[in-house]
Amino acid sequence: MNSEPTTLLQGTLDMLILKSLVAGERHGLGISRRIQQITGGTFSVKPGSLFPALHRMEEEGWIVSFWGDSENNRRAKYYRLSKAGLKQLEVETKRWGRISWAIAQALEAS
Amino acid sequence: MPLSMKVRSFLRNLFLSRRVEADLDQEVHSHLEMLIAENIRAGMPPFEAQRAARIELGGIEQVKEQVRRERIGIWLHSVISDCRYGLRRLRKNPGFTAVVVLTLALGIGANSAIFSMVNALLLHPYNFRNLDSLVRVWEDRGIDEGYDARFIASADAEDLRSSGSVFEGLTTYSFQSFGLGTVGDVQPILGCRVSANFFDLLAVSPAAGRLFSVAEEQPGGDRVAIVSYGSWQRQFGGDPRLLGKTISLNARVYTIVGIMPKGFDYPVPAELWVPLALTPAEKADRTQLSLNALARLKNGVSVSQARAVLASFSHRLELEYPKTNAGRTTTLLQLRKELYMFTLPLFLLLQAAAGFVLLLACANLANLVFARMIGRQREIALRAALGASRGRLGQLFLSETLLYSTTAGAVAIAASFASVRALRTSIPVGWTKWVPGWDGIRVDGNVLAFTMLASLGVGIFLGLATMLHTGRVEPNKTLKETGTGTVTRGKRRVRSALVVAQVMFALILLVCAGLTIQGFVRLAKVYQGFEPASVLKIEISLPQKVYADNVKIANFYQQLLRGTASLPGVQHSSLITNPPASNVDNETIFFSIEGQPALKASETPSADLQIASPDFFDTLRISSVAGRVYSDADNADAARVAVISRGIASRFWPRGDAPGHRIKLGAKDSTEPWLTIVGVVGDVRQNWWNPITRPVIYKPFAQSPQRSMTLLLRTTSNPASYASGVRDVVRQIDSGIALRGINTLEEEIADSIAIIRIMGVLMGIFGIVALALSSIGVYGVLSESVAQRTHEIGIRLALGANPRDLMKLILGQALKLTGIGMAIAVPCAVAISRAMASLIFGVVSVDFAILVGFTALLLFVALGAGYLPARRAIGLDPAVSLRYE
């Protein structure tokens, strides 16, 4: 199912979804578009990966869902960050920092 | 917090699944609509916008299935729905379901029934606390004394008890027959004299009353008795005020001080216990091995450690008391394993045979399930197309096969209550009373657990086999195909392997069954050398108090013989210590031959000792080989004589001149009198477990009277009808004597090999079931593979192939598979029958006729299974077979 322009690293999708929700609640398509936007179009998340991730994260308690009206008055399911989710984002961000630093180091070594 | 969240999600997924599903459906749909709207805003025409949105989404059902897979507890939910689906399928195909469930129930039920015996007889023969630490201890004199000659000298036992290095405790006991009751109404009862610590060592306490005290181990103070629950019920009518009452045992008064709980009958078949009160002389005795000993190992001491300690113990005794203890070793065996030499090979063989039946049933069903899977290929493909992963499909198969197997397990459990009862009651009482644990054969927790494990195992095996067989599903290809679908090479190989396995299991099982049945038939004919028909057998035991000396004993039996011989219809009346088929070994003795140099202890000849009255040989019609049998003239005042069996005569006097030579029981320098051999008689098989007839020395009863003898009567009509006549005769001589073990000799023989007969019947059933299962299985696979080649056969025929060559081709395939199965099975069967021959009485290793016979039978079945469908296919008009789907 990974037909994105760049394959997402395991665990990175969660971080990106959490990050996209920091600014406020969004529905699925909104999250997908936001990720596309903040990554400069590098990552596009297809529904086949997005929805399983959303439902799993909801069961983990990181995000909370509710039904609302979309911009053109359609019923849509919205997600927002919970306290646990905010904490998880911090954890994921730190972890990512470590990984990217480590990989950069590895690539610089001759 | 996260945990409570998870629990909430789990419960929501499980119980509000409909709402969760509706939610998901709406979410995905609204996502799609938003995508379309976005595309339209971007300027796409409506149709193009929808198409692009659907491509981006990637299939509504597939997305939903992927979300479902992420949910907590979804696994359980899907199992429930799979089971529901499975149940629907079960109900929709009652015929198929019945075949599968009944075949499996048969296989599983056979295993649980046999396991109930293994469980009771091998694993839990006694329900004592910490059974594995209880050991039987005895002294071995280096001669074959039979399994029940496991005795210890009382002084040696006392030394062992006080040395106390490996044992937490050691107790001694000895069987004794009692006449219970007062003159005129005496019942025989088998009792046991036990040391005061006997019950404590076994960790049992009385249901009522008390145990014996150490003071009651003194002669004179020992007139107390404890009765078993069974004897309390039978002999004393369950009298609630039995404690404190007195009873008469062998004409001595005993006070009942305790009643043991239900089910306690150690050592079987004792029903009454009295203190083992030894006189100081008896206590100091090292000559006679007279006591049974039972000990409990200290915590953490292994059997092999204890054995090593006992070896050095007996070595010390040898040095200290060379006169009595030379060549004597003390050894031990776990109590649980005491009867293993009889029970282990029998029941392990049965369990293995039942296991083979189950394997055959599984192989058959795997075939059946595979055949149906071909019909379900489109359903499976559709499921895969809708997003079911391989694991998810596996779960579906597994829940279906587990449903079958657990239903079968439930049927098997229900049936096992009846079959286990039938097994328990099919064994004659004469056998069961000697086999501890027989009462424990029932469907208990262990048997239930075993049955459940077996059904789960079968279900998982079948499910995994189906999964492997289905392999990779290619929905694209399968869904486009028409007709019944195809079978790939890999699948054909799986099914060929099944044919090979079935042929293999069936052949091995048939050979084992054949050998067992043949072994039984051989055992049934084992009691040769005498004529058991029309002989009545009665055991008599005279109480020691009244019959204190040989004159009194001889008088009683003389009157008895005279009285019974004059009963109308009695041809011969005689006495013997141990009649054939008694399931008890004879006393073994060493003997010396006059005029031959003294031999080393290990080379001293040994023989069974029997004491018989002169008419014994005529009563059983044992042939006289040389000389004469002794007569009434060889009485207490006459010269000492003996009759020997042909086995001894041909070994030491091969020229047939045995009569006239003299032998002595024991060593040459012993005080025993010399016995003149007056005659040689034919060999008689004593018990079915004796591999060969044993050499026997017969001494005349008049010259060495014994209190316990067996009366044998040869009669002209039904021997059982003479029992009351004998009872009258005995009552006239002494009304205080109890008769026991009244039975015809023919029935004794039938009872003594009953367990082998039951084995033979069970193995026969297993063998027939195996033959049926494997025939059906082999036929099914071959006929189907031919059916699948109908098309190919049509083309070959149309192109001018010779029908006979085609037949050869198909039969060749059948023969190849069967041949491979047999090539594996024959060496296995040979190895197994070798092992059986060494472990099971009566079974003779590698019977060529059985091996060849069953191989030919299976070959014939396989050829038939190939021939019938092949003839059908070849007989078809090519025009028809080419259209065959």
| Structural domain boundaries enclosing B254 | 131-338
Tens digit of pLDDT for each residue in B677-717?
A: 999 999 888 877 776 788 899 999 999 888 889 999 999 98
Tell me if B70 and A59 make a contact (CB, 8 A cut-off).
yes
Among B5, B23, B77, pick the best mutation site for testing chain A contact (most A Cβ within 10 A): B5
**B42 touching chain A per CB within 8 A:** no
| pLDDT for res A108 | 87
Alpha carbons within 13 A on the beta-carbon side of B793:
27
Q: What percent of chain B has pLDDT over 90?
A: 14
User: Comparing C-alpha atoms, which of B327, B468, B484 is closest to residue B398?
Assistant: B468
| pLDDT for res B488 | 61
| Residue B45 or residue B751, greater confidence | B45
The type of residue at B104 is: L
Pick the residue from chain B with its C-alpha nearest to A79: B27
Q: How far apart are CA B439 and CA B120, in angstroms?
A: 8
User: Which residues of B are less than 8 Å from A61 in CB distance?
Assistant: 1-2, 5-6
Give yes or no: residues B283 and B299 share one domain: yes
Number of Cβ pairs < 8 A linking chain A and chain B: 76
User: Which residues of A are less than 8 Å from B20 in CB distance?
Assistant: none
B490 burial via Cβ count (<10 Å: 0-12, 13-18, 19+): exposed
Residue B306 domain-assigned (yes or no): yes
Give yes or no: residues B760 and B746 share one domain: no
Of B705, B726, B750, the residue at which a domain comes to its end is B750
**B89 touching chain A per CB within 8 A:** no
**A64 touching chain B per CB within 8 A:** no
Q: What are phi and psi of B679, to 5 degrees?
A: -165, 165
Tell me if B38 and A76 make a contact (CB, 8 A cut-off).
no
User: Which residues of A are less than 8 Å from B62 in CB distance?
Assistant: 48
Residue B94 domain-assigned (yes or no): no
Instruction: Name the helix (H) or strand (E) containing B710.
Output: strand B708-715
The structural architecture, per CATH, of the domain A12-108 is: Orthogonal Bundle (1.10)
Q: What is the separation of C-alpha A41 from the centre of its chain, rounded to a whole number of angstroms?
A: 14
Tens digit of pLDDT for each residue in B49-87?
A: 889 888 888 888 888 888 877 776 666 777 777 778 878
Give yes or no: residues B313 and B380 share one domain: no
Task: Tell me what the mean pLDDT of segment B771-794 comes to.
Answer: 79
| CA torsion through residues B373, B378, B383, B385, sign | positive
Tell me if B30 and A75 make a contact (CB, 8 A cut-off).
yes
| pLDDT for res B430 | 63
A91, pLDDT greater than 70: yes
What is the band of B24 on the pLDDT scale with cuts at 50, 70, 90?
A: confident
**A38 touching chain B per CB within 8 A:** no
User: Comparing C-alpha atoms, which of B742, B743, B741, B735 is closest to residue B186?
Assistant: B735
Tens digit of pLDDT for each residue in B97-127?
A: 888 888 889 889 989 988 998 888 888 888 8
Q: In chain A, where are the structural domains located?
A: 12-108
B616, pLDDT greater than 90: yes
Q: Which one of A46, A60, A61 has the shortest CB-CB distance to B56?
A: A46
User: Which residues of A are less than 8 Å from B27 in CB distance?
Assistant: 28, 51, 76-77
What is the band of B882 on the pLDDT scale with cuts at 50, 70, 90?
A: low
| pLDDT for res A5 | 45
Give yes or no: residues B821 and B722 share one domain: no
- In the block, residue with structure tokens 């098309």: B791
User: Which residues of B are less than 8 Å from A84 in CB distance?
Assistant: 1-2
Q: What is the separation of C-alpha B503 from the centre of its chain, rounded to a whole number of angstroms?
A: 26
| pLDDT for res B503 | 86
B718, pLDDT greater than 70: yes
| Residue B9 or residue B284, greater confidence | B284
User: Which residues of B are less than 8 Å from A56 in CB distance?
Assistant: 70-71
Contacts of B111 (CB under 8 A, 6+ apart): B351, B354, B355, B357, B358, B450, B451, B454
Q: How far apart are CA B513 and CA B850, in angstroms?
A: 10
Task: Tell me what the mean pLDDT of segment B539-547 comes to.
Answer: 83
| Residue B884 or residue B798, greater confidence | B798
ipTM at complex level: 0.84
Q: How many domains does chain B have?
A: 4
Give yes or no: residues B852 and B776 share one domain: yes
Lowest mean pLDDT among B147-151, B348-352, B496-500, B801-805: B147-151
| pLDDT for res B149 | 67
Contacts of B854 (CB under 8 A, 6+ apart): B507, B510, B511, B514
Q: What percent of chain B has pLDDT over 70?
A: 91
User: Which residues of A are less than 8 Å from B5 in CB distance?
Assistant: 59-61
| Residue A56 or residue B596, greater confidence | A56
Give yes or no: residues B623 and B702 share one domain: yes
- Chain B 473-492, residues with CB within 8 Å of chain A CB atoms: none
Residue B118 domain-assigned (yes or no): no
Lowest mean pLDDT among A3-17, B209-223, B561-575: A3-17
Mean pLDDT of chain B: 83
Whether residue B691 contacts residue B843, with contact meaning beta carbons closer than 8 Å, is answered with no
Residue B104 domain-assigned (yes or no): no
What is the band of A2 on the pLDDT scale with cuts at 50, 70, 90?
A: very low
Pick the residue from chain B with its C-alpha nearest to A55: B67
Give the gap in angstroms from C-alpha A40 to the nearest C-alpha of chain B: 19
Whether residue B332 contacts residue B745, with contact meaning beta carbons closer than 8 Å, is answered with no
| Residue B85 or residue B403, greater confidence | B403
Tell me if A70 and B28 make a contact (CB, 8 A cut-off).
no
Tens digit of pLDDT for each residue in B823-846?
A: 998 898 888 888 877 776 666 667
Of B303, B338, B373, the residue at which a domain comes to its end is B338
Residue B490 domain-assigned (yes or no): yes
Cis peptide before B267 (omega within 30 of 0): yes
Tell me if B56 and A75 make a contact (CB, 8 A cut-off).
no
Give the gap in angstroms from C-alpha B463 to the nearest C-alpha of chain A: 28
Most trustworthy range by pLDDT among B9-23, B372-386, B650-664: B650-664
Tell me if A51 and B9 make a contact (CB, 8 A cut-off).
no
| pLDDT for res A1 | 38
| pLDDT for res B561 | 92
Residue B117 domain-assigned (yes or no): no
Q: What is the separation of C-alpha B8 from the centre of its chain, rounded to a whole number of angstroms?
A: 52
- B489-524 and B803-839 helices, crossing angle to 10°: 40
Task: Tell me what the mean pLDDT of segment B553-573 comes to.
Answer: 91
Task: Tell me what the mean pLDDT of segment B498-515 comes to.
Answer: 85
| pLDDT for res B449 | 93
**B31 touching chain A per CB within 8 A:** yes
Distances (CA, A) of B316 to B171, B312, B330, B374, B830: 21, 6, 11, 76, 47
Distances (CA, A) of B568 to B495, B614, B716, B722, B856: 72, 20, 9, 9, 57
Give yes or no: residues B289 and B386 share one domain: no
Q: How far apart are CA B743 and CA B747, in angstroms?
A: 7
Give yes or no: residues B516 and B419 share one domain: yes
Pick the residue from chain A with its C-alpha nearest to B63: A48
Give yes or no: residues B365 and B327 share one domain: no
Tens digit of pLDDT for each residue in B798-809?
A: 888 888 888 888
**A87 touching chain B per CB within 8 A:** no
Q: How far apart are CA B449 and CA B607, in angstroms?
A: 49
Among A51, A65, A72, A88, pick the best mutation site for testing chain B contact (most B Cβ within 10 A): A51
Pick the residue from chain A with its C-alpha nearest to B62: A48
What is the band of B457 on the pLDDT scale with cuts at 50, 70, 90?
A: very high
User: Which residues of A are less than 8 Å from B63 in CB distance?
Assistant: 47-48, 51
Pick the residue from chain A with its C-alpha nearest to B9: A59
Whether residue A84 contacts residue A61, with contact meaning beta carbons closer than 8 Å, is answered with yes
User: Which residues of B are less than 8 Å from A51 in CB distance?
Assistant: 24, 27-28, 31, 63, 66-67
Residue B570 domain-assigned (yes or no): yes
B601, pLDDT greater than 60: no
**A27 touching chain B per CB within 8 A:** yes
Residue B115 domain-assigned (yes or no): no
Of B305, B338, B371, the residue at which a domain comes to its end is B338
Give yes or no: residues B562 and B695 share one domain: yes
Q: How far apart are CA B337 and CA B333, in angstroms?
A: 7
| pLDDT for res B782 | 76
Give yes or no: residues B577 and B722 share one domain: yes
Q: How far apart are CA B263 and CA B880, in angstroms?
A: 73
